[in-house]
A and B are shown apart, each in its own frame.
Chain A
Amino acid sequence: MNLNEYHREEGKKLLTRRYFFKECGMGLGALALASLLRGTDAGAAPAVNRMDPLGPRSPQFAPKAKRVIYLFQAGGPSQLDMFNYRPALEKYDGHPIPAEFVKNQRYAFIKPDAALFASQFKFAKHGRCGTVLSEVQPHLAEVVDDIAVINSMTTVAFNHAPGQIFMNTGATQFGRPSMGAWVTYGLGSVARDLPGFVVLSSAGGTSGGAGNWGAGFLPTVYQGVPFRRSGDPILYLANPPGITPQMQRRSLDALKALNQERLDVVGDPEISTRINSFEMAYRMQTSAPELMDITKESKETLEMYGAEPGKSSFANNCLLARRLVERGVRFVQLFHEAWDHHSDVTGNVRKECGLTDKPCAALIKDLKQRGLLEDTLVIWGGEFGRTPMVETNKEAGRSMGRDHHPQAFTMWLAGGGVKPGLTLGKTDEFGFNITEDPVPVHDLQATILYLLGFDHTKLTYHFQGRDFRLTDVEGEVVKKLLA
């Protein structure tokens, strides 16, 4: 039985038995309501309760990771300037790439005979594991023994929107549920007063737009909720002008009474779900601002992330990600759309690493010191990588950049059952093609679901005549990545 059918069956049982014989028959008393709203991991059945579709559920087998923080580096960071050191590029810098590499490969902007372009950065081995990083990631170098670098990621899309959608939904066309939606559908959420899937963004808006965190054909409740950079973190969180929390409470009490009365007359359990929704909304009004208030974090913590209260930044978002998972949010996804370096890849990579390197490393350290890293999966990466060839284009004012490169790029994972200190995969001398351990996107997705306790072929949803899943019809768990 697939999960959604199971949910349906279980939901039906729950509604028929519990709802009518206990709550409806007796009227929905305070006690019953409290039990409906209770949110704990203990005794949670892996069933979507129609009245509480975000209730926590167990996965299919014992998970290594219970929650995910996905640091999406949109635009396509240059793996060749950050991770994948290719000395041959220095040797052949300025020479056209040999034709046998390029073959019939299509490019977004550059001509196929563009010259090779060496990284301007120094690379060195770090940590006990000896993982190679370039000089622009000094902070990541400090936690390199806790992360697994994959230098052999490969994708099928070489334009941003399809690439991001593919990485996040497993399909290059729009309309499928995002990874966060699948995970929240599979596991529900422990957070009872925050959304189960939260999206935080810094830098530009994403090419893939809302599809990157959409629910697709899954119920809307599993969609990522984008937190805003300023003002209310959640849209329409604050009461309208002039309305105090006490007034809001009075209104909601009256509303509950009116809804309850209608429920007694028409008997539609949807009404009790609505009562539940308003109560959770009310709790969110308190919990979300509390979550966003980082002033109570210690000075050391703020310093470690480089976070500043009241600011919107990738650093603040990393700190918020930790606060969110601490509060039981299942899936937190950060979008930092800033890596599309068609020009001045050297200067731009230095700049973006300056904004992101420290907070990424701080997040790993912080999760670790709080005992959260072992069951929190942290993912870092973009939708594709960048070419070993230079991009120069006077009309567009571009020079010394790199074009999109789907064949081989780099991501890293940490925590949640991932083998720490690993460097997986090899590429050819120019970093053009993968020569060892390719990790296609669907394999990465299968592995992520595996770490969360799911067989990726069995986390499915029946829609339009077939069982859909995150990995479409592909995907193999990458065993080498597992601790």
Chain B
Amino acid sequence: MPQYFRKRINYAGWASDLRSSYPSMHRLGVLFLTVLCSAAASAFGAPVVPAAGVSTSKGKVDFVRDIQPMISGKCLSCHGPRKQEGHLRWDNKESALTGGEHGPNIIPGNSGKSRLIQLVTSTNDDDIMPQKGDPLTDAQVSVLRAWIDQGANWPASASVEIVDPRKHWAFKAPVRPAPPSVKNKKWVRNPIDDFVLAKLEEEKLSPSPEADRATLLRRVSLDLTGLPPTIEEVQEFVNDRSPDAYKRQVERLLASPHYGECWARHWLDVAHYADSNGYEKDLTRSIWPYRDWVINAYNENMPFDQFAIDQLAGDMLPNATPEEKAATGFLRNSMLNEEGGIDPEQFRIQGIIERMDVLGKSFLGLTINCCQCHNHKYDPISQKEYYQLFAFLNNDDEPAMEIPDKKTEAARDGIRDTIAKMEDEMLTKTPGIAGKMEAWEKKMAGVKRDWTVLDPSAFYGSVGTKFNKQDDGSLLATGSNPPFSEYSVTCKTKLKGITAFRLEALPDPNLPYNGPGRAENGNFVLSEFSVQAGTNKVVLTNATADFSQAGFSVAAAIDGIITNKIGWAVEDLPGRRNRYRQAVFETVTPVGDGNEITLKFALNQSYGSEHTIGRFRISASTGDRPVQADPLSPHGREILAIARANRTAAQERELFNFYRVSDPELAEANNKIDDEQGKWPTAPTTLVLQARAEPRETHIFKRGDWQKQGELVTPGVPSILHPLPPGQPLNRLTLAKWLVDKKNPTLARVIVNRIWQEYFGRGIVVTSEDFGTQGDKPTHPKLLDWLATEFMNSRWDVKHIQRLIAESATYRQSSVITPQMWERDQYNSLLARGPRVRVDAEIIRDIALSAGGLLDLKVGGPSVYPPIPDGVLTLGYGAPMAWKTKADDRYRRGMYTFAKRSVPYPSLQVFDAPTGESPCTRRIRSNTPLQALTTLNDPVYVEAAQAMAMRVWKNGGKDEKSRINYAFELCTGRQPGPSEVATISSLLNDESDYFENSTVRAVKVASHDPKNPPEDVNLHKVAAWTMVSRVLLNMDETITKE
């Protein structure tokens, strides 16, 4: 506890350049226990001598006027808010008078005995103060003496207040406050308004009137679904005079599938979702099923505690469903470096550090990542506690898991059933099969299997592959995944007379589809397997394997050709792939004489496209020849070892499968089964977490350097927060449950604050990622606590909070800013008006496409590739990725655009969409010329303008006036005023006149495919309307939530 006893100051009269400085973590508190002895009379009774050149009124020294500026200039850089050398600070009266570790510096009334005077007048370089900068002038020393002799009067108002960070508001659990009483009760729609209005009344301000209906519906539609309302929706609402008209709109929007999209996107910003791995290679990853999961969770209004638990530990729930596992993609959004020649462990750890950052910002609202190198400078969290949290996240395998949807699952079940029936038929209709299988089992039981695993003492992968040695003697390839590689493995052995070597290719959850290879589908091609004993090449012969892919026989692995594409590969039919495989190579002459020899194996893999082995193990046999690959897998062996009568039906069937492929007489039936198996539908994969059986050890990294391991830590949580539930295993699931414990002081506040932020453009706590001592204070602390407790009491009902906010009078205010209001409250922190905020990047695109009637509202699915300008992708490293725009990709919502970290999609990035490189809890909203160029000239926006023009021409009514109204409504949801109509009309007429004389231009402007212009319209007119539409789409109002 004492180690956290750090202080925060509030400023009182100190120079303004200190306002931005912050205290460091030096401890002070305990030093205040000593009480300064009273101002005893000076033994010397030094007279008061006003210093020459210093104006003191009647010789009286004034602390604020005469002393404080001197202290600010001379003392505070070492004894102030940033540093407290000697545990002393000169901006706090108590500290200054009590003194630091050297005791009191001032004896009021006795400058002669005051240590301070001795120090500032010292001639010893080690003692003199200040240590940095010029010494005090004689005049300054005189004033200082006079001040002390006059009693060292220091008004309390000139002393900064030092606050214990452990008492910081955010570390205390919210207590539900009663809504305050207000005068204007009529205005209040729900308790939110009580809190807001109470503050406004306190400030003698009145709320703004309610926004007009068209504005209000557009606002709430954009906030809840990210889509503008249709003209019909606006009209319906404007004409709906029933008292619950607005409420029903809110309900309609909350029930829309686009609600989930809109709010998932905010969450994905924090999760730093992207479709590529980041770093140099920045290869594509498949994690969109996680995005779908988030969308669905919002749409189903999943309680937030479950939402959190599933994402942090869905895989550890009892009987975890594929959906719950997909949810753990949350933490897999960390980046992955696959650059050649990296140390994979370094970047695995970097990934966990990213996950810690996400955990801190998304759920805790704390900048715990500050503790990676040292104790938090401002918040009471230690470096050790950081690594204790880290220990919870450090124990996972990182698979890409297949997530079959229900349709795929049903199809697979059908295939399984059909094959089972075919097998049953085989069993019942093949004469004598039972006897043959029994004989086969006996034969299998007799297969020689005296293998000794060779322990690799050195291993090296060319082109940057690195290996993790596993407990079973196998090597797991990690890090850089080069297209081809040579693995060299050195083993020492004392075996005598080795007759064969066995290479096992092992599945592993960290490999694609479990491996055993590292190609996209988990396959590999072993071009050549060779061995050297000492300096002699070992000649190999009689290669056998439990399975060889057609055209990739195991014999090719000892054909002596290293760098060809031919070799042993193991891809079976879909649904039967990604299994344990083995190859056995006999030696021509026995190797080893009983003395230790060094064996050097070379595994050449020259096929390309990452067809390298992911995990493998080498063994040797000294058994009698022939030594051959075991047709049975280790699992098959386990079944075989079970007495027939004790096997389950499933085990029996599995064993039968090994048998039937070995029996040439069953070839025809086997082929039929293979045909059926070939129909097996594949499913997309998604990145998930999978807890390891054996947790990793976690150490503190000294100064954050992963190569400098310090103390070993066990999983734990920061002591400033609530304790872990007792008696639970220290794993991710417990961490998740701890996080959503109602005792958690930050979670509910953090989440309701981020919801609030999306409505009002800024949170009740503006620094929505940081509720620590350095974060902003809440503008409405009681409102925040009320919402937080309401959230928990409603069983974490997210839509309930949305309703409360959306239906509040506070939210429904007009966003018009008067000059008085601007003077008073530029950032609208008092909420005397509604929000007016430029919408997010993706929504700008959605608005344009929807005005043009082009927007494709399909929800979910893989990311899409809308057209991207030439040259953008080449800014990333290496060959530009294939960006194939399919017809369906062009008009999907902006949030589905493929997010490549190193090359963000230009029109989204320019409007401040995050790049997925770190968690983003709140977006910047910039306003730049490049944005103007984008919405003016990006072909997507031009196409939207063209489509909108056609719409206006065809559906906008018969005359110019009604068309102008229609066009304006498509963009803003409201009718234009007379002078707006005049401006538009004037532009329309100018352009119409222009195009009358230029058909060629008219076709170019009106149609995005000038070779096939639309036929049934007046293109001169549509071209003029395209120009008008383009202007309307570029209006500030169009891309702003008003």
Cβ contact within 8 Å between B769 and A239: no
Which B residues are CB-close (under 8 A) to A269?
Answer: 822
- A129 contacts partner chain B, Cβ-Cβ < 8 Å: no
User: CB-nearest residue of chain A relative to B938?
Assistant: A236
Interface stretch (choices A204-212, A358-366, A372-380) = A204-212
- Add 14 more A-B contacts to A219-B924, A255-B1034, A396-B484 (CB < 8 A): A106-B343, A159-B341, A214-B915, A214-B917, A217-B924, A230-B871, A235-B872, A236-B869, A236-B933, A259-B1037, A277-B927, A281-B932, A464-B769, A465-B767
Expressed in whole angstroms, the minimum distance between the Cβ of B570 and any Cβ of chain A is 21
Which A residues are CB-close (under 8 A) to B709?
Answer: none
Cβ contact within 8 Å between A209 and B875: yes
- Encoded as 1 (CB less than 8 Å from any A CB) or 0, chain B from 386 to 428 comes to 0000000000000000000000000000000000000000000
Assembly CA distance A285 to B934 (angstroms): 12
Cβ contact within 8 Å between B280 and A160: yes
- Encoded as 1 (CB less than 8 Å from any B CB) or 0, chain A from 267 to 285 comes to 1111101100110110011
The contact of B606 among A160, A242, A270, A395, by CB within 8 Å, is A395
- B370 contacts partner chain A, Cβ-Cβ < 8 Å: yes
Interface stretch (choices A62-70, A220-228, A425-433) = A220-228
Chain A contacts with B in 187-242, Cβ cutoff 8 A = 195, 201, 204-211, 214, 217, 219-221, 225-226, 228-231, 234-242
13 A-B pairs (CB sep. < 8 Å): A108-B342, A111-B460, A211-B902, A230-B870, A241-B1005, A242-B1001, A242-B1005, A247-B991, A251-B1031, A266-B836, A277-B928, A395-B484, A396-B462
- B534 contacts partner chain A, Cβ-Cβ < 8 Å: no
Which A residues are CB-close (under 8 A) to B903?
Answer: 209-210
Cβ contact within 8 Å between B282 and A209: yes
Expressed in whole angstroms, the minimum distance between the Cβ of A51 and any Cβ of chain B is 9
Cβ contact within 8 Å between A250 and B462: no
Cβ contact within 8 Å between B464 and A273: no
Which bucket holds chain B's interface residue count? 35 or more
Assuming the A-B contacts A261-B979, A261-B980, A262-B1037, are A210 and B460 also in contact, with contact meaning beta carbons closer than 8 angstroms in the complex?
no
Interface stretch (choices A12-20, A28-36, A317-325) = A12-20
Cβ contact within 8 Å between A241 and B1004: yes
Expressed in whole angstroms, the minimum distance between the Cβ of A168 and any Cβ of chain B is 13
Interface stretch (choices B13-21, B131-139, B590-598) = B13-21
Which B residues are CB-close (under 8 A) to A225?
Answer: 930
Which B residues are CB-close (under 8 A) to A235?
Answer: 869, 872, 906, 930, 933-934, 938
Which A residues are CB-close (under 8 A) to B656?
Answer: none
The contact of A237 among B773, B933, B1034, by CB within 8 Å, is B933
**Which one of B20, B934, B984 has the highest number of Cβ atoms from chain A below 10 Å of its Cβ?**
B20
Assembly CA distance A195 to B928 (angstroms): 10
Cβ contact within 8 Å between B876 and A250: no
Expressed in whole angstroms, the minimum distance between the Cβ of A58 and any Cβ of chain B is 17
Cβ contact within 8 Å between B337 and A284: no
- A467 contacts partner chain B, Cβ-Cβ < 8 Å: yes
- B434 contacts partner chain A, Cβ-Cβ < 8 Å: no
- B486 contacts partner chain A, Cβ-Cβ < 8 Å: yes
Expressed in whole angstroms, the minimum distance between the Cβ of A154 and any Cβ of chain B is 16
- B809 contacts partner chain A, Cβ-Cβ < 8 Å: no
The contact of A395 among B353, B354, B604, B819, by CB within 8 Å, is B604
Interface stretch (choices B715-723, B728-736, B810-818) = B810-818
Assembly CA distance A237 to B938 (angstroms): 9
- A40 contacts partner chain B, Cβ-Cβ < 8 Å: no
- A107 contacts partner chain B, Cβ-Cβ < 8 Å: yes
The contact of B367 among A174, A228, A396, A466, by CB within 8 Å, is A466
Which B residues are CB-close (under 8 A) to A160?
Answer: 280, 339, 877
Cβ contact within 8 Å between A205 and B983: no
The contact of B370 among A207, A219, A285, A466, by CB within 8 Å, is A466
Which A residues are CB-close (under 8 A) to B775?
Answer: 465
Cβ contact within 8 Å between B987 and A161: no
Chain B contacts with A in 838-894, Cβ cutoff 8 A = 838, 869-872, 874-878, 880
- B1027 contacts partner chain A, Cβ-Cβ < 8 Å: yes
Chain A contacts with B in 253-312, Cβ cutoff 8 A = 254-255, 257-259, 261-262, 265-271, 273-274, 277-278, 280-281, 284-285
* A interface, CB within 8 angstroms of B: 1-2, 5, 12, 15-16, 19-20, 24-25, 53, 106-109, 111, 158-162, 173-175, 195, 201, 204-211, 214, 217, 219-221, 225-226, 228-231, 234-244, 247-248, 250-251, 254-255, 257-259, 261-262, 265-271, 273-274, 277-278, 280-281, 284-285, 337, 393-396, 403-404, 462, 464-467
Expressed in whole angstroms, the minimum distance between the Cβ of B845 and any Cβ of chain A is 13
The contact of A236 among B880, B901, B934, B990, by CB within 8 Å, is B934
Expressed in whole angstroms, the minimum distance between the Cβ of A55 and any Cβ of chain B is 13
Chain B contacts with A in 966-1011, Cβ cutoff 8 A = 977, 979-980, 983-984, 986-987, 990-991, 994, 1000-1005, 1010
Cβ contact within 8 Å between A206 and B933: no
- B2 contacts partner chain A, Cβ-Cβ < 8 Å: no
- Encoded as 1 (CB less than 8 Å from any A CB) or 0, chain B from 906 to 928 comes to 10011010010110000010111
Assuming the A-B contacts A108-B341, A205-B880, A395-B463, are A464 and B767 also in contact, with contact meaning beta carbons closer than 8 angstroms in the complex?
yes
Expressed in whole angstroms, the minimum distance between the Cβ of A201 and any Cβ of chain B is 7
Chain B contacts with A in 182-225, Cβ cutoff 8 A = none
Expressed in whole angstroms, the minimum distance between the Cβ of A320 and any Cβ of chain B is 16
- B774 contacts partner chain A, Cβ-Cβ < 8 Å: yes
Cβ contact within 8 Å between A109 and B341: yes
Expressed in whole angstroms, the minimum distance between the Cβ of B835 and any Cβ of chain A is 11
- B1036 contacts partner chain A, Cβ-Cβ < 8 Å: yes
- B508 contacts partner chain A, Cβ-Cβ < 8 Å: no
- B231 contacts partner chain A, Cβ-Cβ < 8 Å: no
The contact of B937 among A2, A238, A404, by CB within 8 Å, is A238
Expressed in whole angstroms, the minimum distance between the Cβ of B872 and any Cβ of chain A is 7
- B335 contacts partner chain A, Cβ-Cβ < 8 Å: yes
Which B residues are CB-close (under 8 A) to A209?
Answer: 280, 282, 875-877, 901-903
Cβ contact within 8 Å between B377 and A109: no
User: CB-nearest residue of chain A relative to B378?
Assistant: A465
Which B residues are CB-close (under 8 A) to A207?
Answer: 279-280, 339, 877
Cβ contact within 8 Å between A267 and B817: yes
Assembly CA distance A15 to B825 (angstroms): 12
Assembly CA distance A2 to B20 (angstroms): 6
- Encoded as 1 (CB less than 8 Å from any A CB) or 0, chain B from 576 to 603 comes to 0000000000000000000000000000
Assuming the A-B contacts A235-B869, A251-B1030, A394-B486, are A467 and B20 also in contact, with contact meaning beta carbons closer than 8 angstroms in the complex?
yes
Expressed in whole angstroms, the minimum distance between the Cβ of A151 and any Cβ of chain B is 24
- B794 contacts partner chain A, Cβ-Cβ < 8 Å: no
Which A residues are CB-close (under 8 A) to B606?
Answer: 395
Expressed in whole angstroms, the minimum distance between the Cβ of B367 and any Cβ of chain A is 4
Cβ contact within 8 Å between A254 and B1031: yes
The contact of B1035 among A107, A159, A173, A259, by CB within 8 Å, is A259
User: CB-nearest residue of chain B relative to A223?
Assistant: B909
Cβ contact within 8 Å between A15 and B870: no
Cβ contact within 8 Å between A5 and B482: no
Assembly CA distance A395 to B482 (angstroms): 10
Cβ contact within 8 Å between A237 and B901: no
Which B residues are CB-close (under 8 A) to A395?
Answer: 462-463, 484-486, 604, 606
- B278 contacts partner chain A, Cβ-Cβ < 8 Å: yes
Assuming the A-B contacts A1-B17, A209-B903, are A109 and B767 also in contact, with contact meaning beta carbons closer than 8 angstroms in the complex?
no
Cβ contact within 8 Å between B926 and A219: yes
Which A residues are CB-close (under 8 A) to B370?
Answer: 465-466
Cβ contact within 8 Å between B816 and A234: no
Which B residues are CB-close (under 8 A) to A107?
Answer: 341
- B936 contacts partner chain A, Cβ-Cβ < 8 Å: yes
User: CB-nearest residue of chain A relative to B215?
Assistant: A266
User: CB-nearest residue of chain B relative to A264?
Assistant: B979
3 tightest A-B CB contacts, nearest first: A108-B341, A209-B902, A242-B1004
Assembly CA distance A86 to B451 (angstroms): 53
- B350 contacts partner chain A, Cβ-Cβ < 8 Å: yes
Which A residues are CB-close (under 8 A) to B126?
Answer: none
